[in-house]
Structures are given as structure tokens and as C-alpha cells.
Structure 1
Amino acid sequence: MSATGWFRDLLAGPTRGPATVRATGTWPRTALALPFIGMALVVGLDYLSTLQVTVEPALTAVPALAAIVSRRVWYPILMGLLSEGVAFAMAGYDNVLGESVHSATVFAIALVTAISWVSATLRVRQEQALADAQLVAEIARRVLLRAVPDRVGSVRAAVHYAAAAAHARIGGDLYEVVDTRHGVRAVVGDVRGKGLGAVETAAAVLGAFREAAHQEPALEKVAGWLAVSLDRALHEHDHPGVEEEFVTLVLIGVGPDGTAEIVNCGHPAPLLLTGDGTVRALELPETVPPLGVLDPADVSPPVQRVPFAPGDRVLLFTDGVIEARDRAGRFYPLADRFPHCAQGGPVDVLDRLHADVVRHVGRPLCDDAAMLLLQYEPVAHGRQQLPHQNGRLARQ
């Protein structure tokens, strides 16, 4: 390693293991030269100045700048010591060693250096705490929102999830896909609210779905099971500041023969993209309120049955996608944009859709956004292994 590379690595800041989340807003390593450049400018200005005024007090900015561009807490101290030495050299050159301006400058550099060291120390601690919190959030996300295999039974699947909370990786949106003896079953939902309360509610709904999807032959009974579990969770957990809690969700089941069943409880209707490029919303004729609004005994939503042909794709999503607005206040036209982004496999489609939403908004999304894409592709015979999204193998 060259001396320059070693110096940059030394000043760039402490490193950690693979679980480290890099702090946001960090400066590039080339910025480490800024304090030296500032010091050189002060010296050059003082040398070239024809006025009988010293610019020595400007050196107080050097340690402050060092605290900004580096995560090494000793870097401001180093630059403060160098600034003190340069200050004495400039004072000797300008014949002001005995004047108050020099004494004030020396004191100011020491004070700014101390403040910069404290500031850098606090910032590093905050970044460490943020990295630890992000690591915990990532672990919680992997436990709560499991990775979706590329193939689940008779469908290919992909999911894209983005949490809106700053530096968070989990929010109030939920999704799951399971292969059961009743066919492939999936859920996408949105918990009212944010924070830990929404995560607790989402965990209760997902836990109930993972059990009910295997046990209940009728999809509407799965919704009833979720309503009971949600009601119990809301009574067990009190979330201060939240007056009313409910969950909108859509359930879908795809049989081996391509017959799909859909149950919608107050959630945006899924979009079906057929092989000829036609898009239609799978709206139910009867509006059903979200779970948590009605008594669980009264939850009996209608079931919509739709035949799928090989290659048909159904997109389930949360309102964070369709309510994304551009700077003019226009909502994202998901139904219009879906066919234009539907090239390639399910993962590619969702990546294109998410990028298209971000381009439409022009900034990071301000709400949680989840998308789940199911593509009906039955396998004629045999068992097949396909890559899992996280690198493992999923077995059909």
C-alpha cells in the first residue's frame, strides 16, 4: 500500500465487520485534505497580503473543518496542534508574537480544537448507535418479513419492500407467500400507523397467516382467523397515541390449475397483467372494511375467483406505491406504468417499478411501499430447484 493510501485509511475512520451499516452523509476521503488546503490558503494570504493586518485568527477554522471531514476523533487534535505551530510561525513572521491578537488566536485555536474533538466523539458514538439500531432492524426484518423464493409451487414470486422511516428497514407493511396443500397462498397488508406498534401488529397478522394458510381450506376462513388474532393482539398490546388500529390486506390463493381466489379487506385491488398486455384491477363488487373495524365474528368477506393462464402476472401492493406523488401532486399511475415495466422475471419487474416510482416522486418515498408479484408458471412434471433470492435453493 502506498503512503498516500495508508494515510487516507488512517484518517477515514474506524471500520467494523460485515454487519456495519455505513454512516449516511460521510465525506469522500479526498475531503481529508481540506484542512491542509485551508491552512495553506491562510498562510498564502498572510504572505501575499500588503496590509499591516495579520490573518492568523483564520487558523481557528482548521480544527473545526477537520472534525467535519473525518471520523477519527484525534484528527481535529492533530490539526489543532499543527494550527498552533503555524500560528506561532506566522506571528513571528508578522512580528506580532507579543500582541494580543496572537494570544487570542492561540487560545481560540485551543478552544475550537477541544470543541471539535468533543463534537467528533459524539458524532462517532451516534453513528455507532445508528449502525447498531440498523443491524437490529435488519435482523427483525429477516425474522418478520422472510425472503420470498423465486418459485413457490405453481408460481414464480418476487417482493420489493422499502420502509419510509429514516434509517429503518421495517415498517407497517407486511407480506408473505406460502405453499400449502390448498395451493399457493399470499398476503399483502398495511398496518395503520408507524413505529414499533405497527411492527407488533404486523407480526401478529403474519404469524396468524402462516398458520391459517395451511390449516383453513377456505380463503375467507383465513381472513376470519387473521381477524381473531388481530383482535387478540390489539387487546394485549396498548399502543399510546394511536386511537384506532386496523389492517388493510388482500389474500390470494393460486391453485395448481391456475384458478385464483382473492379476498380483499379494505386494501387496494391487485392488478392482473395478462399475456396480451391487458391490465385490469381485480375489484370486488362488495366493499369490505379492514380487519380490526368489525367484530371478528362478523368478518366473512366474499371470495373472487379469477382463472389465470400461464404467464399471467398479478401485482399486490400497498398504498405507499399508488399514493406516491410527484412535485405537482399527481399520484403515481401504477396501472398505466405496470405494462411498461413488465419485462424480464418478477424480480426485474419490481426493480423497474420501484425505480419508476422514485423517478416519478423525485425524492425518497415518504411512506412504506411493498410490492409482491406472482407469475403463474405451472411445471408439467417432476420437481425443480430454482435459486432463492438470498442465494439458497428453493424446491418446488
Structure 2
Amino acid sequence: MGKLIATWNRIPAHRLAGPGPAAARPSGTWPRTALTLPFVGMALVICLDYLSTLEVTVEPALTAVPALAAIVSRRVWYPILTGLLAEGAAFAMATYNGVLGDSVHSATVLAIALVTAISWVSATLRVRQDQALADAQLVAEIARRVLLRSVPDRVGSVRAAVHYAAAAAHARIGGDLYEVVNTRHGVRAVVGDVRGKGLNAVETAAVVLGAFREAAHQEPALDRVAGWLAVSLDRALHENDHPGVEEEFVTLVLIGVAPDGAAEIVNCGHPAPLLLRADGQVRALELADTVPPIGVLDPELVAPPVQRVPFEPGDRVLLFTDGVIEARDRAGRFYPLAERLPGCAAGSPVEVLDRLHEDVVRHVGRQLGDDAAMLLLEYRPAVPGETQLPHQNVRLAHQ
């Protein structure tokens, strides 16, 4: 609980107080110029009635004014204001046309009052729903900061950046997981994908991340780290009576980078990382023998092979989840990550991931249908006298 409160206190005040005047317009809202539409509609009805040579009155059209106000504005008083003005216009038009005592005028007045009341109720309910959604998003943001911590620009001998996009609308976190830690064994990182979505996937991701943060420091061998994660996952699923425990598993890839550039990779059923050499060559770090995800085998049987790759300064390795490579365009073609990576490789790790995400979205042409996480590590030994950058290189994509 103390960690959750501390995370809450680190959230900028503008996130807690809501968007200010300079903030971007929330999704689904109308521009300010749209607030004039009810008055424009009212003026058109009055002009049409004044210029019409027919004996048919257009006074009933004023009932659309408060309804339009409820559509273009999130202020609960706006439909009432426009409704009162529409009532005044109705009386003025009836007086001008000499139909003040006719049934059509009485029916119009009652209809405007009824539509105004309905519009006010609709605006009130929408404001409450927006507030509930904002509260839920704030809680999700807090949970994301606790579970998926920000990644510093530099961790030990590597520069790092993360880009995460949750598939669920308005979500901040899903079933994908990542972490980078600096240990006495070197820099260690994990990227994984929990089977399924929703709260169960988030719970499973929390178990795996908690176990990794401990095992990465304690276990000198990277394959033993994978075994530790398998034991922790199995224990958590059975102790908590997790639904569908027999079908729960997590694909993940572990990587360790020593200060001298010697890298170790352990893959448990996850897409192979991509190695981008400083000269621009791309190679998938695939293993000859495939290993199932953790949760499939009994924990004592989890002993994945360790792949060793020497890194040179400037070499980069991209770890990602299947939400990236399984993103399809309208013709059903998968996103060719290995082909597109060299064209997006210019700049810092953050810029590379931003460019890749934009390219994936262009390829798909719509919101991604699955969670997508990317972690980019660049082997760059620290130069004597170099200071660590203070900002956090993590990007959360709003889809």
C-alpha cells in the first residue's frame, strides 16, 4: 500500500486535477465552434418562418435546438439555456403569426420543454460517465506505474527504451510485460506475453514481474532465472485458485548483457529478438531447439538453453511481443518487422520505437487488435565522466 501511495504522489498534479485550458481536447468532444450550432439552427428556423409565404408554420422545428445543445456540449446547463431561448423564440413566432392560441403552438411549447428535460438528463448522465471513466483511467495509470515501471535512459552498460500499447480501449495495461534491471551479473531484461487478456492476465503478469525482479539479482545463471519464474507462476496460479490454471502460460524472452558486451538470451516460446548491428544488418536470434512457454511444463522441467551473442558498441537488440508481428493490414498481411526495422533505426532508442509504432499503425490502418510491447536495448558502455540522463524512456500509446 505504501508503494501505491508513493506512486500516486509522483503523478503530476495536472493528471489528478484534469486537463487544463492548454490541454488537448478529450477524445469524443466537439470543438468550441460547435457550441454555436443550436443558435444557428434557431436563427435558421426563425428566418425560414419569417420568409416563408406558406401558411404552414415551422415553429415545431425549434424542438431540435435543446437536443442539438446536448450533443455538442458537455455542460449540463447548456440544454436548459438553449431550451429557454427556444421557448422564447416560439412565443415570438406565434405572436408574429397570430397563432398564439392555436394547438400547434401549445404542442410546440410542451415538446420543447420535454426535449429540454431529456437533454438535461442526457448531459448529466454523460458527465457522470465521463468522470467515472476518468477515475478508472487514473487507477489504471497508477496500476501501470506500479506494475510496469519506467525504464531509465541508461541502465548499466546499455541504453534502453520501451513502447507499450494496450489493445483494450482506454486501457493502460494489458497482458504484456517488460522490465529492465541492473544487477551484479550485468543488465537483465525480460519481455513476455500472458495468455489471454483482462484482469487475470494482469494478475499473472504481476506474478512474473515480481519473481523476475527478485530472481534477476539472486540467480547467476539466466536459465535458472527462467526456472525461478516458472516456479513462482505455478505456485501463484494454484494457491489463488486461478481460473483456467491448466491452460495458463506465459511466453517470455530473457536477456542479460555483461559490461564487456557478452550477451545471454533465454527464450521460452516467445518471438525471437532481432539483433540490429551497428552496420545496419538485422538478424533474428532464433534457437535451434524450441522451448515451450513457462506454465506448460512442470517447473522442475524448465531448463531452457542459453544462447550467447557478443555485442559491439552500437549494437541493438529489439525484444517485442506478438502484437507487433501479428498486426495485419486490410489484406491480411502481417507486419514485416525485420524488414522495416533498418528503415526506422535512426536516432535514439526512444525515437526508433516511436517510429516503429507509427509504422505498425500505418500498416494496420486502425487500432491494434492486441497488446503490443517493444523493448530496445543498445549496448553503449558508459564513457568516463558521462552522467545518466534523468528522464524515463517509456512510451504509453493511446489508441
Name the TM tier (shorter chain): over 0.9
SS of residue paired to 2:190? strand
- Is 2:361 the counterpart of 1:364? no
On the 8 A contact 1:23/1:131 being kept in 2, the answer is no
Task: Report how many aligned residue pairs link the two structures.
Answer: 376
On the 8 A contact 1:205/1:230 being kept in 2, the answer is yes
Per the alignment, residue 300 of structure 1 pairs with 303
- Is 2:21 the counterpart of 1:18? no
Per the alignment, residue 68 of structure 2 pairs with 65
SS of residue paired to 1:105? helix
In the TM superposition, what is the alpha-carbon distance from 1:317 to its structure 2 partner?
0.2
- Which of 35, 39, 54 aligns to 2:38? It is 35
On the 8 A contact 1:288/1:301 being kept in 2, the answer is yes
In the TM superposition, what is the alpha-carbon distance from 1:99 to its structure 2 partner?
1.2
Per the alignment, residue 124 of structure 1 pairs with 127
**In 1, Cα distance between the equivalents of 2:241 and 2:81?**
52
Per the alignment, residue 142 of structure 2 pairs with 139
SS of residue paired to 2:389? strand
**In 2, Cα distance between the equivalents of 1:237 and 1:52?**
76
- Is 2:379 the counterpart of 1:376? yes
**In 2, Cα distance between the equivalents of 1:261 and 1:46?**
80
In the TM superposition, what is the alpha-carbon distance from 1:233 to its structure 2 partner?
1.5
**In 1, Cα distance between the equivalents of 2:192 and 2:243?**
22
Per the alignment, residue 86 of structure 1 pairs with 89
With the length of structure 1 as denominator, give the TM-score of the two structures.
Answer: 0.92
- Is 2:390 the counterpart of 1:387? yes
Which amino acid letter does the alignment assign opposite residue 161 of structure 1? Y
Which amino acid letter does the alignment assign opposite residue 339 of structure 2? D
- Which of 205, 220, 223 aligns to 2:223? It is 220
Return the structure number with greater relative CO, CA threshold 8 A, min gap 6. Answer: 2
**In 2, Cα distance between the equivalents of 1:112 and 1:216?**
68
For 1:110-121, what aligned pairs fall within 5 Å after superposition?
Answer: 110-121=113-124
In the TM superposition, what is the alpha-carbon distance from 1:97 to its structure 2 partner?
1.1
In the TM superposition, what is the alpha-carbon distance from 1:366 to its structure 2 partner?
1.4
In the TM superposition, what is the alpha-carbon distance from 1:50 to its structure 2 partner?
1.1
Which amino acid letter does the alignment assign opposite residue 87 of structure 1? A
Which amino acid letter does the alignment assign opposite residue 123 of structure 1? R
**In 2, Cα distance between the equivalents of 1:61 and 1:242?**
55
In the TM superposition, what is the alpha-carbon distance from 1:241 to its structure 2 partner?
6.9
**In 1, Cα distance between the equivalents of 2:37 and 2:242?**
48
- Is 2:316 the counterpart of 1:313? yes
- Is 2:77 the counterpart of 1:74? yes
235-244 or 63-72: bigger deviation: 235-244
In the TM superposition, what is the alpha-carbon distance from 1:237 to its structure 2 partner?
3.2
- Is 2:320 the counterpart of 1:323? no
233-242 or 369-378: bigger deviation: 233-242
Per the alignment, residue 229 of structure 1 pairs with 232
SS of residue paired to 1:252? strand
SS of residue paired to 1:387? coil
Per the alignment, residue 22 of structure 2 pairs with none
- Is 2:176 the counterpart of 1:173? yes
For 1:340-355, what aligned pairs fall within 5 Å after superposition?
Answer: 340-355=343-358
Which amino acid letter does the alignment assign opposite residue 66 of structure 2? P
Per the alignment, residue 261 of structure 1 pairs with 264
- Residues 291 and 44 (structure 1), Cα distance of their counterparts in 2 relative to 1, 3 Å cut: same
Per the alignment, residue 275 of structure 1 pairs with 278
- Residues 152 and 290 (structure 1), Cα distance of their counterparts in 2 relative to 1, 3 Å cut: same
Identity %, equivalent residues = 85
Root-mean-square deviation (CA, aligned residues, Å) is 1.6
On the 8 A contact 2:160/2:393 being kept in 1, the answer is no
In the TM superposition, what is the alpha-carbon distance from 1:17 to its structure 2 partner?
4.8
Which amino acid letter does the alignment assign opposite residue 297 of structure 1? E
In the TM superposition, what is the alpha-carbon distance from 1:98 to its structure 2 partner?
1.3
**In 1, Cα distance between the equivalents of 2:124 and 2:267?**
52
In the TM superposition, what is the alpha-carbon distance from 1:243 to its structure 2 partner?
6.6
SS of residue paired to 1:253? strand
SS of residue paired to 2:247? coil
